[in-house]
């Protein structure tokens, strides 16, 4: 296998950092070849036995890439199965490492990986190392015995020095907000460990064009209006409750997709308008569709023919439609053979927005990359889009700010 020039250069640099500090962070943007670069770094480092940890969906692609390195014994594992891992490894590769960054308490996956990685060199991989806060870096590095913050035994002690702590109120409870980390101080301690690389540096010529397509869904708007006013409604014998801002926000997001979860946990399908719009307006095109809720998957499979949830099968096919859930499909998979990517609604997370939309990009792609947002006309989704484009998660505070405007649309 012939590597790209920049992959060779980065792997050379990474090997030097890994030998000197026991860890290196490859902050390479999506589709620039992080997996190949990491495996080449492992080879140059002299490792034989490798544990490559990632999310579930990318594992098949990682195994395919590993075939090109027959000198390496690569064992793959998804983060949810770390508790089953035994054996001894020369080196750990932690893909999508930002997923280890929960704070103030460590996630289960971070705890398990720390157990496995004791005194082992680690290669961290992510195109977005700290998508929401620099505080996300503490537990990522904490899994390594060579962390630049190893003198701090836990996040709270670290935060005393590296975070501007604030107070916030959640359900009338006062809590500490640790998200305002001191970026310059953290950079001073960690910049020697990072090797960054962008799509532009890789020579990507194709940019993403985003288009919003609004689908009239008058029944959904009427239901949304009733739910906002009364906080509880009954639809065909199903009780829908929205007694808090967070719950109302989630119910309205569901309704904009044509379904809703009732108080008994039953998904109620109410409107097929979006799926019908997709079927009629994208006929003859090879498309990938991201959804959030299980009921939306059911809607899509009922209306759209020839669907698959396997990204490898989609890549090799000529006419299949890929269906992927926002969170499980936003990282590590490749969908660049798609004519277009469609978002059936939108997730509240900036990370979902940033990573899902880049699935269509690759260095080999020469045609325009188009992303379509399929929104309920007059709903709340365009407000969410505006927020996540600004690199913020859409929270209840944004919802409280925006929903009065949405209510006016509903009443029009």
- Is residue 146 located within the same domain as residue 249? no
Q: Give the tens place of pLDDT for each residue, 235-288.
A: 989 999 998 888 999 999 999 999 999 999 999 999 999 999 999 999 999 999
In the structure, how many helices (H) and strands (E) does the chain have? 17, 18
Range of the domain at 265: 208-411
Q: Which of 191, 359, 204, 390 is nearest to 289 (CA)?
A: 359
- Is residue 253 located within the same domain as residue 273? yes
- Is residue 244 located within the same domain as residue 365? yes
- Is residue 51 located within the same domain as residue 149? yes
As a whole number of angstroms, the distance between CA 200 and CA 55 comes to 26
Model pLDDT, residue 205: 59
- Is residue 149 located within the same domain as residue 262? no
- Is residue 227 located within the same domain as residue 167? no
Q: pTM of the entire structure?
A: 0.67
DSSP state of 207: P
Model pLDDT, residue 262: 93
- Is residue 180 located within the same domain as residue 234? no
- Is residue 183 located within the same domain as residue 260? no
- Is residue 288 located within the same domain as residue 380? yes
- Is residue 138 located within the same domain as residue 159? yes
Q: Which of 202, 221, 240 is the last residue of a domain?
A: 202
Backbone angles phi, psi at 125, to 5 degrees: -130, 130
Cβ pair 204, 363 in contact under 8 A: yes
- Domain holding 101: CATH number? 3.40.50.10810
List the beta bridge partners of residue 199.
none
Q: Which of 164, 181, 202 is the last residue of a domain?
A: 202
- Is residue 197 located within the same domain as residue 216? no
Three-class SS string for 346-402? CCCCHHHHHHHHHHHCCCCCCCCEEEEEEEECCCCHHHHHHHHHCCCCCCHHHHHHH
Model pLDDT, residue 367: 64
Q: Which of 169, 184, 202 is the last residue of a domain?
A: 202
- Is residue 147 located within the same domain as residue 274? no
- Domain holding 266: CATH number? 3.40.50.300
Model pLDDT, residue 362: 58
Total domains, the chain: 2
CA distances from 25 to 41, 92, 116, 128 (A): 12, 12, 18, 11
Q: At what angle do helices 396-411 and 381-389 cross, to 10 degrees?
A: 140
Q: Which of 97, 174, 166 is nearest to 138 (CA)?
A: 97
In this structure, how many other beta carbons lie within 10 angstroms of the beta carbon of residue 231?
14
| Regions in the chain scoring below 70 on pLDDT | 170-172, 204-207, 330-332, 358-368, 404-412
């Amino acid at each position: 296998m012939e590597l790209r020039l920049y992959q060779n250069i980065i792997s050379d640099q990474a090997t030097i950092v890994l030998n000197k500090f026991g860890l290196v962070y490859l902050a390479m943007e999506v589709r620039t070849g992080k997996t190949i670069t990491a495996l080449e770094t492992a080879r140059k480092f002299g490792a034989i036995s490798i544990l490559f940890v990632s999310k579930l969906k990318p594992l098949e692609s990682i195994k395919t890439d590993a075939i090109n390195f027959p000198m390496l014994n690569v064992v793959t594992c998804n983060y949810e199965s770390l508790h089953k891992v035994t054996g001894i490894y020369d080196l750990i590769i932690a893909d999508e490492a930002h997923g280890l960054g929960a704070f103030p308490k460590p996630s289960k996956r971070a705890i398990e990986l720390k157990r496995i990685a004791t005194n082992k060199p680690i290669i961290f991989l992510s195109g977005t190392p700290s998508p929401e806060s620099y505080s996300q870096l503490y537990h990522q590095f904490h899994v390594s015995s060579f962390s630049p913050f190893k003198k701090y035994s836990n996040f709270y002690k670290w935060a005393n020095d590296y975070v501007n702590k604030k107070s916030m109120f959640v359900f009338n409870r006062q809590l500490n907000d640790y998200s305002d980390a001191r970026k310059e101080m953290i950079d001073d301690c960690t910049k020697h460990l990072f090797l960054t690389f962008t799509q532009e540096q890789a020579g990507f010529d194709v940019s993403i064009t985003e288009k919003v397509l609004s689908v009239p869904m008058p029944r959904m708007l009427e239901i949304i209006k009733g739910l906002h006013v009364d906080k509880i409604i009954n639809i065909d014998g199903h009780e829908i409750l929205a007694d808090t801002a967070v719950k109302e926000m989630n119910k309205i997001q569901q309704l904009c997709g044509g379904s809703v979860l009732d108080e008994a946990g039953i998904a109620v399908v109410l409107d097929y308008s979006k799926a019908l719009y997709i079927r009629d307006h994208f006929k003859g095109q090879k498309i990938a569709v991201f959804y959030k809720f299980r009921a939306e998957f059911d809607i899509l499979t009922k209306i759209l023919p020839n669907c698959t949830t396997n990204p490898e099968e989609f890549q090799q096919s000529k006419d299949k439609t890929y269906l992927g859930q926002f969170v499980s499909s936003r990282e590590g998979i490749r969908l660049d053979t798609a004519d277009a990517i469609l978002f059936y609604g939108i997730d509240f997370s900036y990370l979902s927005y940033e990573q899902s939309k880049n699935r269509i990009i690759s260095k080999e792609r020469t045609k325009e990359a188009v992303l379509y947002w399929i929104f309920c006309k007059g709903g709340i989704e365009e407000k969410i889009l505006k927020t996540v484009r600004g690199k913020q998660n859409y929270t209840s505070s944004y919802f409280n700010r925006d929903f009065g405007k949405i209510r006016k649309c509903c009443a029009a």
